[in-house]
Amino acid sequence: MHALSLREDRFLEVLRRLIAMTPKLQNNPSAGLVPEERLAAQVVLETLAPHIQSGFIQAESLAASGKESRPSLVLTVKGTGEGALGFVGAHFDVVPADEKGEGWERNPFALWEGPGGVLYGRGVTDCLGHVAVLTDLLAQLAERGVRPRRTLKVVLISNEESSDLPGLGLTYVAEQGRLKDLAGQPVYWLDSANFGPTLGTGGISLWELKVTGVGGHSGMPQNCVNALELGMAASLELARWFHARFPPTQDEKTWGFLSSSSLKATVVEGSNTKESKIPADVTLRGDLRLTPFYDMSEVRKAVTDFMRELDARLERDEVIPGFPRTRTAAGKRGSLEFRFQGGGMEGIACRLDSPGLQALKEAMQAVRGVAPTPFSLTGSLPLVRDLQRQGCDVQITGFGEMAYYHAPNEQARLEDFRQGFSILRELLVRL
């Protein structure tokens, strides 16, 4: 086992093929981008085909009927002893890349290998590089006939970069009972960066605010309620209230969170395209990011109640500091309709005293020669809290550059993945 190291030619070939498919792996249904994760899954299955046929690796593709183009893969290597170990969370879909509008310096849909081992392209870090590392690890175990002590379960998932949908992703894998043998076992979530370990993540809940104003000629503002201005003012008022009501906690310092809970608008939509017309209707959307030391359901209720009361204040004609005109000269008022979309996801605070974390730190120290630098962040991961509730020792790590997550010019160093492979090998040895 100790002799295993990243086989760079295979890793790069798998990654090259995966990134070439990213135009069809982009996940943003509201923009018409629905990924076909089976394309990426097929690359993995073709690479591992001889070892699946031999029976060394058991492979299962999971998606509900009618959604076969969007599978998750469960890849299992039977261990020589008792217990199980999970490498979970690396995913096939990617966030969209707009090479013309976002400032990409090169084609994001083709792997570019630059000086110093720089690897460039959408999905290099998030998360196709992790998929390629795991594929090479499984292939090498099979080629050498080396079985780990614990049964190894690698779960590569679909639909990680969008809201939860029935019949897809890790939720569907869990519903089919394929995570049951990981209950109470070490589980390493491989969808982070900068090695870490990542000690915690945030919960997420998406929201929508529909603002109804009174449209009209911009030269007659007394007859109008500007929905755009009202929406901006309402979202800022909500953000100010939220950050005062749910401030940073001492636990966030203990777990090393890089940011506290936040609530903000990220999208504005309106049909008005004429500068001299005051818009009558605008929709704002955004997200709530919540550290795991607050209860998601309680916070959502408090936010919803605040927005309901804010609309009631408009009905009562209360003057709200900083707000624009909320009622026309003829008495028509603007209105706010707020709702959360879906159920959201919870964050996690990983156990700081767990054997899994200790093993991860030791593996990183052995491979990288320096003590690891743990941190937490309010990025969100599906089902990690549920796995923890099942007794799993959930720990989080990842390889690549955190600064390029969801950003233009996504890139990482080949050395990151060399070390990442070796860290996974060390975990197999230690556990």
The catalytic residue positions are 93, 160
Distance in angstroms (rounded) separating the CA atoms of residues 356 and 359 = 5
CA distances from 294 to 301, 308, 344 (A): 12, 21, 14
Distance in angstroms (rounded) separating the CA atoms of residues 26 and 35 = 5
List the structure tokens of 54: 């031999």
Beta-carbon-side half-sphere exposure of residue 182 (alpha carbons within 13 Å): 27
- Backbone φ, ψ for residue 374 (5° rounding): -65, 155
